[in-house]
């Protein structure tokens, strides 16, 4: 029984060592080892890791060598009279100075790399990264564009109802896009709790802390899609807020920025235009179906005792200010979340107006509508 177990373990170990030593090149035992990444810094970090690993191996061999040598060379049988000396100045000096020198030897290149990593000077492109429960927001400071990046993995995959896809839990609706060869500085913070923005291929792992801004930077020369995740336990959906960065050639990046700006401009125009109640109701229906029916139901009747009815609700009928506030701020301690960051001004106004105008609400209440500029006004800092 015991023998069988040890044979299995031995075979397992042999297989592991065999797989390490027979891999194409020594650095390529990458599925066991740390990733080398794709940037100069990440390769440097990998180099440091290997250097220190081999120093540890050498120390291990010396220490265990001496230990095993002593165990076998000085058994009671071979050496019945143990020597009893104590205090040996040169030995004590040696075992103080040698480890000190080893530490310095490791500290010099490590500090060198750390100083490079902590360079917080301005980048060619500066992107603010904001962690939320449970998604990331990105704001390109120079171009004044921004968006949220949400997980897109299907719930069916998460609950094992369908096979898991290739990028399971590492796919988003909108990736960060950056150009090759440019210095990108990330200004990392959070909106609610502590998150951490981790992109192993760039050797970036930086805490996102509310009220603080931590920086990180990268220059990536290899186009591609890179994937990371939040690495600070941040609540129930911590495992569901991946980081995806697409590195593209400069001209492709310029096109992307132009497209984003155009979309923002269109949105601004939509916000400013004069909306009729009918137009808002029409637009609001789809938004209501997508965001609200799970709780308030498509007929606005809610679910008794859990989700209040919006049809005939006093707030929806007669209290425009409170209605707006609930949608913008959410209700503390209840399942009603804030939609301020999830819906554009136009969509927010549309969904509110839709609920004020549907299910007989227009007839039974004041029938007031909310237009996009009301939301813009609400969002302005109050003095
Ligand atoms: Cu997080």
85-104 tens-digit pLDDT: 888 999 999 999 999 999 99
Q: State the pLDDT at residue 154.
A: 82
How many angstroms separate the alpha carbon of residue 154 from the centre of ligand 1?
A: 19
CA distance 114 to 77: 53
What's the confidence (pLDDT) of residue 243?
96
Tell me if 225 sits within 8 A of 246, measured CB to CB.
yes
Domain span(s) for CATH 1.10.760.10 in the chain: 274-379
Secondary structure class of 192 (helix, strand, coil) = coil
Strands (E), the chain: 125-132, 135-140, 145-149, 176-179, 184-190, 195-199, 204-208, 214-218, 224-230, 243-248
Distance 372 CA to ligand 1 centre (A): 31
- 71: its two tokens: 């165990």
Question: DSSP H helical segments within 74-172, as ranges?
Answer: 89-117, 155-158
How confident is the model at residue 341, as a pLDDT? 79
Indicate if the alpha-carbon torsion angle 267, 269, 272, 278 is positive or negative: negative
| Unique residue bearing structure tokens 């911590």 | 238
258: CA distance to ligand 1 center in Å? Answer: 30
Residues 321-344 have pLDDT tens digits of: 899 999 999 998 888 988 987 888
Provide the H-helix boundaries in 155-249. Answer: 155-158
Q: Compute, in angstroms, the gap from residue 60 CA to the centroid of ligand 1.
A: 38
Taking the centre of ligand 1 as the mean of its atom positions, its distance from the CA of residue 375, in whole angstroms, is: 28
Q: CATH code for 274-379?
A: 1.10.760.10
Query: CATH number for the 21-117 domain, one of 3.30.200.20, 3.40.50.300, 1.10.8.350, 1.10.287.90?
Result: 1.10.287.90
Residues with CB under 5 A from ligand 1 (ion): 195, 230, 234
How much distance in Å is there from the Cα of 232 to the middle of ligand 1? Answer: 6
Residues paired with 128 in a beta bridge: 139, 187
> Distance (Å, rounded) from C-alpha 307 to C-alpha 299?
13
**55 contacts 102 by C-beta, under 8 angstroms:** yes
CA-to-CA dists, residue 110 to 23, 47, 51, 52, angstroms: 28, 10, 10, 10
Three-class SS of residue 334?
coil
Which segments in the chain show pLDDT lower than 50?
A: 1-2
Cα 378 to averaged position of ligand 1 atoms, centre (Å): 28
3-state secondary structure of 4: helix
CA 243–ligand 1 middle distance (angstroms): 10
How far apart are the CA of 148 and the centre of ligand 1, in A? 14
CA of 239 to the centre of ligand 1 (A): 8
Start-end of CATH 1.10.287.90 domains in the chain: 21-117
- Ligand 1 centre to CA of 204 (Å) is 15
Distance 382 CA to ligand 1 centre (A): 30
State how far the Cα of 10 lies from the Cα of 2, in Å rounded to an integer. Answer: 12
Span(s) in the chain for CATH 2.60.40.420: 125-268
Tokens of 82: 């143990």
Alpha carbon of 181 to ligand 1 centroid (Å): 28
Domain at 125-268, CATH homologous superfamily: Cupredoxins -  blue copper proteins (2.60.40.420)
Contact 122, 182 (CB under 8 A): no
- Ligand 1 centroid vs 241 CA: distance in angstroms? 6
Distance 194 CA to ligand 1 centre (A): 7
Q: 152: CA distance to ligand 1 center in Å?
A: 16
């Amino acid at each position: 029984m015991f023998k069988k177990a040890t044979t299995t373990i031995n075979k397992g170990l042999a297989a592991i060592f065999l797989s390490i030593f027979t891999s194409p090149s020594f650095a390529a035992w990458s599925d066991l080892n740390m990733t080398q990444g794709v940037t100069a810094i990440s390769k440097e970090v990998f180099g440091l890791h290997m250097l220190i690993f081999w120093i540890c191996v050498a120390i291990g061999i010396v220490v265990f060598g001496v230990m095993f040598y002593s165990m076998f060379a000085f058994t009671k049988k071979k050496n019945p009279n143990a020597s009893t000396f104590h205090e040996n100045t040169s030995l004590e000096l040696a075992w103080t100075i040698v480890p000190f020198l080893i530490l310095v030897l490791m500290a010099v290149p490590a500090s060198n790399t750390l100083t490079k990593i902590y360079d917080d000077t301005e980048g060619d492109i500066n992107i603010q990264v904001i962690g939320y429960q449970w998604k990331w927001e990105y704001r390109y400071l120079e171009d004044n564009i921004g968006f949220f990046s949400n997980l897109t993995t299907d719930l069916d995959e998460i609950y094992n109802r369908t096979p898991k896809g290739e990028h399971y839990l590492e796919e988003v609706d909108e990736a960060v896009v950056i150009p090759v060869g440019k210095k990108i500085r990330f200004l990392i913070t959070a909106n609610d709790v502590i998150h951490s923005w981790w992109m192993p291929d760039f050797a970036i792992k930086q805490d996102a802390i509310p009220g603080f801004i931590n920086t990180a930077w990268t220059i990536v020369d290899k186009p591609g899609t890179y994937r990371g995740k939040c690495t600070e336990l941040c609540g129930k959906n911590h495992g569901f807020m991946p980081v995806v960065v697409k590195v593209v050639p400069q001209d492709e990046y310029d096109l992307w920025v132009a497209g984003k700006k155009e979309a923002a401009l269109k949105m601004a125009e939509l916000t400013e235009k004069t909306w009729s109640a009918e137009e808002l109701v029409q637009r609001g229906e789809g938004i209501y179906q997508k965001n609200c029916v799970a709780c308030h139901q498509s007929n606005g009747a809610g679910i008794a005792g859990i989700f209040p009815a919006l049809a005939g609700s006093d707030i929806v009928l007669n209290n425009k200010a409170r209605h707006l506030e609930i949608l913008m701020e959410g209700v503390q301690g209840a399942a009603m979340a804030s939609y301020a960051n999830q819906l554009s001004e136009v969509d927010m106004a549309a969904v509110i107006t839709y609920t004020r105008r549907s299910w007989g609400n227009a007839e039974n209440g004041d029938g007031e509508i909310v237009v996009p500029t009301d939301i813009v006004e609400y969002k302005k800092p109050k003095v």
